[in-house]
């Protein structure tokens, strides 16, 4: 047991003690102490943050434009709104891409309608039209995506009508996303809006001749710190053909043919589960929950993939690549494990990394004592029910009758319903177990953590590393606890797969073992009375 349950209960009492009764009741529902004797533990999630509490969450626009659409390299992304919404979010998510010879890349540009007061009063549609004309004249893209910021929804500009007109005028794909920042309770609403439109307007638009044996899509992988590059390298070495990635190092062009893949790999369940489900229903493509963060999880995922295709040649090739990649990193990982054994971590990240990184830490000797999501939904914590009815017939796929025959032919590689059900018992096919189940007794799962809780928990549990984002990194440093950003990787990486695990271990060891932390005197240690202000008591 990592923590004594009684001590943890007392800790939590202390953390929420200073809230007014209503807030206390609310926050209690968002915190769970792991008890492995219970098969399923419930947690409240994906609800509105209590007004007045400073949350780490982002907005709907951030989730749509920043997270899902932003990485698509061949798209001119026009942000319809005040310049700040565009400029301060451009490049924030550190999009990296490799651009092929005939591919277009607009990631270095930041496009906005730069709305002014007069546009708010008289409407901004004309300005948006003008921005599209200018983009066509100067850049001639194959796809334009328009994203709405808060004022657009408030004044009622019809960005979809503008997009339709532009699409007719130029004969290219022009898509509009009503992802005003205020929608929903977090950036999660934006993921949903982006994915729905991609599915409706891009997927299935281009058929390709498939020569590769194992065509797959990489879903919920955003190439932070070059992770997708590393994943592409290893999967390529085994013999997989990545048709499309949603959306790191991705393109609209590739997404148009994503329906040709035989399997969808889901890395970040939170941001992409809707689209994975839609593929399953519409095109009969199943999805497999993978995790390419950490060597052990990567090995398991690669073996699951080979099992899905069930081909002896692929299984052998997978084992050979695993052996080769592992041999190159094992010694380094053992060295870092020796250095870090017994340290503890506190993780608080968006909607998937607080789960995935627990295994990465474990392999180098670090136990996670607290883990939470900013905006995860209950299924990200608790898992999903296995879907009993795996829809695999063309009828189920909702395909117009005339196209059924054609589709049966095109998708001949996919498995029968019976085979799918059999496989689902062994590998996480169309299923995700969630974070809580994998946590150890006495550890804490916490949803939508705030700064008060961060400070209190850090002071009581004294973790050796606090992993989160830019909003709370320095709060942790001021307390003398090393903090590593798991959003931006502090501009390091890649951290994925085998070599990535060593990069991560190196960065973590350098941080934790630095003598710096011993020199930091938190304010409450020097001046009486400051503690209360700092901790928000």
Residues in touch with ligand HCA (CB under 6 A)? 58, 62, 66, 92-93, 187, 350, 469-471, 485, 487
Identify what 442 binds: ligand CFN, ligand HCA, none; CB under 5 to 8 Å per kind: none
Handedness of CA 331, 332, 336, 341 (dihedral sign): negative
CB of 289 to ligand CFN, least distance (A): 13
290 binds, among ligand CFN, ligand HCA, none (CB under 5 to 8 A by kind): none
- In SS3 terms, 458-488 reads as HHHHCCCEEEECHHHHHHHHHCCCEEEECCC
468 binds ligand CFN (CB under 6 A): no
Q: Is 303 one of the annotated active-site residues of the chain?
A: no
Does 268 bind ligand CFN (CB under 6 A)? Our answer is yes
d(CA 88, CA 507): 27
Which residues, listed in sequence order, are joined to residue 146 by a DSSP beta bridge? 78, 176
Residue with Cβ nearer ligand CFN (286 or 351): 351
| Residue 34 binds ligand CFN, judged by CB under 6 A | no
Residue 55's beta-bridge partner residues?
Answer: 450
Compute the distance between CA of residue 409 and CA of residue 394 in angstroms, rounded to an integer: 11
Q: Quick check: 76 binds ligand CFN (CB under 6 A)?
A: no
500: contact with ligand CFN by CB under 6 A: no
216 phi, psi to nearest 5 deg: -135, 160
191 belongs to the catalytic site: yes
Q: CB of 473: closest distance to ligand HCA in angstroms?
A: 8
Selected range binding ligand CFN among 195-203, 266-274, 316-324, 453-461, rule: CB under 6 A: 266-274
Q: Which residue is nearest to ligand CFN (CB)?
A: 350
263 beta partners? 216
187 binds ligand CFN (CB under 6 A): yes
Active-site residue identified among 27, 30, 34, 59: 59
Q: How far apart are the first and last CA of the chain?
A: 30
Q: Measure Cα distances from 479 to 272, 445, 488, 519 in Å.
A: 36, 22, 21, 11
Residues 82 and 157: their CA atoms lie apart, in Å, by 14
Angle at 46 between CA 42 and CA 48, to 5 degrees: 125
**Residues with Cβ < 8 Å from 516, sequence gap 6 or more?**
482
377 catalytic residue (yes or no): no
- Minimum CB separation of residue 246 from ligand HCA in Å reads 16
Tell me whether residue 377 or residue 487 sits nearer to ligand HCA (CB atom).
487
Q: Select 67 or 174, whichever has its Cβ closest to ligand CFN.
A: 67
| CB nearer ligand HCA, residue 94 or residue 378 | 94
- Minimum CB separation of residue 485 from ligand HCA in Å reads 6
Instruction: Determine the Cα–Cα distance for residues 70 and 348; give it in Å rounded to an integer.
Output: 23
- Least separation, in Å, of the C-beta of 65 and ligand HCA? 9
Q: How many residues bind ligand CFN (CB under 6 A)?
A: 16
352 binds ligand CFN (CB under 6 A): yes
- Residue 353 in contact with ligand CFN, rule: CB under 6 A: yes
Whether 61 and 179 have beta carbons less than 8 Å apart is answered as yes
Q: Which of ligand HCA, ligand CFN, none does residue 358 bind (CB under 5 to 8 Å by kind)?
A: none
Residue with smaller CB distance to ligand CFN, 68 or 306: 68
Footprint on residues 214-243 left by ligand CFN (CB under 6 A) = 220, 222, 224
Tokens of 452: 């008060």
In the set 34, 80, 93, 356, the catalytic residue is 93
Binding site partner of 471, from ligand HCA, ligand CFN, none, Cβ cut-off 5-8 A by kind: ligand HCA
Distance CA 528, CA 537 (A): 14
SS3 of 350, please?
coil
- Reference 166, options 46, 78, 50, 102; nearest CA is 78
* Smaller CB separation from ligand HCA, 90 or 336: 90
Q: Which of residues 145-184 bind ligand CFN (CB under 6 A)?
A: none
**Torsion 489-491-492-493 (CA) sign:** positive
Q: Which two tokens stand for residue 345?
A: 């971590």
Report the Cα 246 to chain-centroid distance in Å. Answer: 10
Active-site option among 57, 191, 355, 377: 191
- In which element (H, E) is residue 313 found? helix 312-340
Active site (catalytic) residues: 59, 62, 93, 191
Q: Footprint of ligand CFN on this chain (CB under 6 A)?
A: 63, 67, 93, 187, 220, 222, 224, 268, 270-271, 349-353, 487
């Amino acid at each position: 047991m990592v923590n004594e349950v009684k001590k943890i209960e007392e800790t939590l009492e202390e953390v929420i003690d200073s809230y007014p009764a209503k807030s206390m009741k609310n926050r209690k529902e968002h915190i769970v102490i792991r008890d492995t004797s219970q098969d399923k533990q419930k947690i409240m999630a994906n609800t509105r943050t209590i007004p007045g509490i400073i949350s780490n969450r982002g907005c709907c626009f951030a989730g749509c434009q920043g997270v899902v659409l932003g990485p698509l390299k061949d798209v001119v992304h026009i942000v319809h709104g005040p310049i700040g919404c565009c400029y301060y979010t451009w490049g924030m998510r550190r999009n990296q891409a490799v651009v092929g010879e005939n591919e277009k890349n607009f990631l270095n540009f930041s496009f906005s309608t730069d709305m002014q007061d007069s546009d708010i009063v008289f409407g901004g549609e004309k300005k948006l039209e003008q921005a599209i004309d200018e983009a066509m004249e100067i850049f001639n893209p194959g796809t334009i995506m328009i994203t709405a910021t808060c004022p657009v929804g408030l004044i009622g500009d019809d960005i979809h009508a503008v997009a339709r007109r532009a699409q007719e005028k130029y004969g290219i794909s022009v898509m509009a996303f009503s992802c005003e920042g205020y929608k929903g309770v977090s950036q999660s609403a934006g993921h949903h809006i982006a994915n729905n439109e991609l599915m409706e307007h891009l997927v299935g638009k281009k058929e390709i001749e498939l020569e590769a044996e194992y065509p797959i899509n990489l879903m919920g992988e955003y190439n932070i710190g070059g992770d997708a590059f590393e994943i592409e390298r290893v999967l390529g070495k085994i013999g997989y053909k990545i048709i499309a990635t949603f959306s790191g190092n991705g393109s609209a062009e590739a997404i148009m043919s994503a329906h040709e893949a035989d399997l969808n790999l889901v890395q970040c369940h939170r941001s992409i589960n809707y689209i994975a489900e839609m593929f399953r229903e519409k095109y009969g493509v199943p999805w497999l929950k993978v995790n390419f963060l950490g060597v052990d999880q990567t090995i398991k995922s690669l073996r699951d993939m080979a099992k899905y295709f069930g081909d002896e040649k692929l299984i052998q090739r997978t084992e050979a690549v695993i052996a080769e990649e592992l041999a190159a990193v094992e010694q380094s990982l053992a060295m870092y494990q020796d250095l870090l054994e017994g340290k503890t971590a506190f993780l608080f990240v968006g909607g998937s990394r607080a789960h995935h990184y627990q295994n990465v830490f474990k392999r180098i000797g670090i136990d996670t004592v607290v883990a939470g999501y900013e905006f995860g939904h209950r299924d990200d914590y608790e898992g999903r029910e296995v879907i009993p009815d795996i829809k695999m017939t063309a009828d189920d796929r909702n395909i117009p009758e005339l196209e059924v025959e054609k589709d049966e032919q095109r998708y001949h590689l996919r498995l029968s319903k019976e085979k799918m059900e059999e496989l689902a018992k062994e590998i996480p096919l169309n299923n995700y177990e969630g974070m809580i189940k994998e946590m150890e007794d006495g550890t804490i799962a916490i949803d939508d953590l705030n700064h008060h809780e961060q400070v209190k928990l850090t002071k009581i549990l004294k973790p050796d590393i606090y992993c989160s984002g830019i909003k709370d990194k320095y709060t942790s440093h001021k307390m003398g606890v090393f903090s590593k950003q798991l959003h931006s990787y502090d501009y390091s990486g890649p951290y994925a797969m085998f070599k990535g695990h060593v990069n991560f271990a190196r960065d973590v060891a350098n941080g934790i073992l630095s003598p710096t932390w011993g020199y930091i005197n938190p304010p409450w240690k020097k001046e009486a009375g400051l503690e209360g202000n700092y901790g928000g008591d």
